[in-house]
A and B are shown apart, each in its own frame.
Chain A
Amino acid sequence: MEKILSMIYPLAEGSVVTLQLFAVTLLLSLPLGLLLALARISKIKPLSKTVELYNWVMRGSPLMLQLLFVYFALPSFGILLPDVAAAVLAFVLNYAAYFAEIFRAGIQSIQKGQYEAARALGFTYVQTMRRIIVPQMIKRVLPPVGNETITLVKDTSLVYVLAMNDLLRAARTIVQREFDMTPFFIAAVFYLAMTFIVTRVFNWLEKHYARYDE
């Protein structure tokens, strides 16, 4: 028991790194994803095509590869980022592409009549998006966004290839030092606790948005 308690502290420290990476990535990639989605459905062809290419590259190549690229390859182009910044950058660029495609599908699922009603009432395009389309889109994309968010909790463990002491790396360090598998189990419990909370938050959001039907 005492042994487990002694393992909890470094693992909790690792969890803080994991949670920070998770929270900052989510906070930045959601708005960036929305901007990308709006650019993707824009009538300006070069813009739309550029984002399409971007989404393909980010979703079509391994996140691990993108992490290693930002971390190891960027410095050779003279771009030096601190560890955390490099990890956050890679995660945000990658997740924004996924969110962008989810948001795009959500926006395009809103009936044409909503745009027409807004236009007939004198709304500009920006007002229509901000007040009518995007708020309705949020309700529809909650399930897939919840999926991505849970995936993000677990994907943060990829930073263990970098020199960052996240939850998984903290567990592995103890395992290698003590030849004891217990830290892996504790780490699994920590991850499950985090995804449990994320699941509950999204359940609550879905219930909140269920106040109206479509």
Chain B
Amino acid sequence: MGTTMVRMENVRKNFGDLEVLKDISFELKQGEVVAVIGPSGSGKSTLLRCLNRLETIDGGSIAIEGEYLVRDAKYVEEAEARRICGKMGMVFQQFNLFPHMTVLDNLLEAPMIVKKMARADILPIAEELLRKIGLEEKRDVYPTKLSGGQQQRVAIARALAMNPDIMLFDEPTSSLDPELTGEVLKTMRNLAEENMTMIVVTHEMGFAREVAKRVIFMADGVVQEEGPPEELFETPKNERLKMFLNSILR
């Protein structure tokens, strides 16, 4: 298989006395789509947030595309960490678009401010991204005028405007009305078909089953079972996973 994009080694994370991640290790190859599932409080969102240091880890190592972001809980210096994390884009449950900027400006902002790109250079890329998500006619609209599904698609485009190698999705459809999840999942599916490396923390079992090449089931801060979706969903071995699948597929 291809190059290793993300490697976590024995990652530990505590919130006070609570151990949310206990000795997590995993690897992600180029072009792989991994779904992380599990009950709430299992640590799956924390796992994702540790990758781009929205949370700092208390033990273990994380390497992105072969470069250590943190080694034995010691982080590289700030500018270096920012550069390494720049290879990853992130999409949040609550979208977190910038409400004071139009849709187009949301896409232009980071490339212009962080990468110091000229507006003329990023503009065609942003317009192409808006066309891809089918929202080119909304370019001059402010985000709150859009539906949740549209906002989330803009959030995906905003992350893609930074040209990341890896996309992190933190429950991207969890705050959407059921009839709006489809359009977001379709955008993500298109991205997967373009061979984007993706980690998706999700409750959408359909998506995990159809799009993910590998599913990771987490509970109590531990990876309880992982494997191809058909194996995980059809012949689960772990007791916690069996219980979890029973409770959601019932």
- With contacts A211-B142, A213-B144 known, is A117 near B96, CB below 8 A? yes
A211 CA to B140 CA in the complex, in Å? Answer: 12
Question: B54 to A119, Cβ gap below 8 A?
Answer: yes
Q: Which residue of A lies closest to B52 (CB)?
A: A120
Is B82 positioned at the interface, with any CB of A under 8 Å from its CB?
Answer: yes
Q: Which residue of B lies closest to A138 (CB)?
A: B100
Question: A116 to B92, Cβ gap below 8 A?
Answer: yes
- With contacts A121-B158, A122-B110, A213-B142 known, is A113 near B82, CB below 8 A? no
- With contacts A122-B85, A122-B162 known, is A214 near B99, CB below 8 A? yes
Is B114 positioned at the interface, with any CB of A under 8 Å from its CB?
Answer: yes
Number of interface residues of B (CB under 8 A): 28
* A residues in contact with B90, CB < 8 Å: 117, 120
A103 CA to B82 CA in the complex, in Å? Answer: 28
Is B228 positioned at the interface, with any CB of A under 8 Å from its CB?
Answer: no
Number of interface residues of A (CB under 8 A): 21
Is A77 positioned at the interface, with any CB of B under 8 Å from its CB?
Answer: no
* B residues in contact with A212, CB < 8 Å: 99-100, 142-144
Is A147 positioned at the interface, with any CB of B under 8 Å from its CB?
Answer: no
* A residues in contact with B114, CB < 8 Å: 121-123, 127
Is B218 positioned at the interface, with any CB of A under 8 Å from its CB?
Answer: no
How many Å from the CB of A123 to the closest CB on chain B?
6
Give how many A-B residue pairs fall within 8 Å (CB-CB).
Answer: 66
Question: B110 to A123, Cβ gap below 8 A?
Answer: yes
The secondary structure that dominates the A interface is helix
Stretch in contact with the other chain, from A86-94, A129-137, A152-160, A165-173: A129-137
Q: Which residue of A lies closest to B93 (CB)?
A: A113
Interface string of B32-56 (1 = CB under 8 A from A): 0000000000000000000011100
How many Å from the CB of B108 to the closest CB on chain A?
11
A116 CA to B168 CA in the complex, in Å? Answer: 13
Question: A114 to B52, Cβ gap below 8 A?
Answer: no
Q: Which residue of B lies closest to A212 (CB)?
A: B142
A111 CA to B98 CA in the complex, in Å? Answer: 11
- With contacts A211-B142, A213-B142 known, is A131 near B96, CB below 8 A? no
How many Å from the CB of B112 to the closest CB on chain A?
9
**What are 10 A-B interface contacts by the 8 Å CB criterion?**
A111-B94, A117-B90, A119-B54, A120-B54, A132-B98, A211-B142, A212-B99, A213-B142, A213-B145, A214-B99
The chain B residues found within 8 Å of chain A, CB to CB, are: 52-54, 82, 85-86, 88-90, 92, 94, 96-100, 109-110, 113-115, 142-145, 158-159, 162
In the complex, given contacts A121-B162, A127-B113, what are 6 additional A-B residue pairs having Cβ atoms less than 8 angstroms apart?
A: A113-B94, A122-B85, A122-B115, A123-B110, A213-B144, A214-B144
The chain A residues found within 8 Å of chain B, CB to CB, are: 111, 113-114, 116-117, 119-124, 127, 131-132, 135-136, 139, 211-214
